Amino acid sequence: MEITNYTTFRQSLKFYLDKVFSNHTPLFVTRAKGEDVVVMSKADYDSMQETFYLLKNPANAVRLEKGLKDYEKGLTQKQELIDNE
């Protein structure tokens, strides 16, 4: 995660926002007299929220973890999607 201070962020706002969007990496902005903030793209925020939602259910979290472990072990198969046209 990249770090910058509030003044530099404000002076180069477009540069930093474009970088956050294109690199899909959050930006940590420090503030001398206030709470620090993290800037991230909406797509990345939405993805994070979806992950939190999916992991909130303990049974679903176990199922997802098992799926990831199976994938890492090479125990998965590629499936073609059904075209509904």
Domain ranges for the chain: 1-40, 41-75
Report DSSP letters for 11-49, one per residue: HTHHHHHHHHHHHT--EEEE-TTS--EEE--HHHHHHHH
Check: pTM over 0.85? Answer yes or no: no
Mean pLDDT of 64-75: 94
The predicted-structure confidence for 3-52, as pLDDT tens digits, reads as follows: 999 999 999 999 999 999 999 999 999 999 989 999 999 999 999 999 99
Pick the CATH number of 1-40 from 3.40.1620.10, 3.30.413.10, 3.40.47.10, 1.10.3720.10: 3.40.1620.10
Which of the four pLDDT bands, split at 50, 70 and 90, describes residue 1? confident
Q: Helix, strand, coil proportions of the chain in percent (round to 5)?
A: 55, 15, 30
CA angle (46 as vertex; 4, 20 as ends), nearest 5 = 25
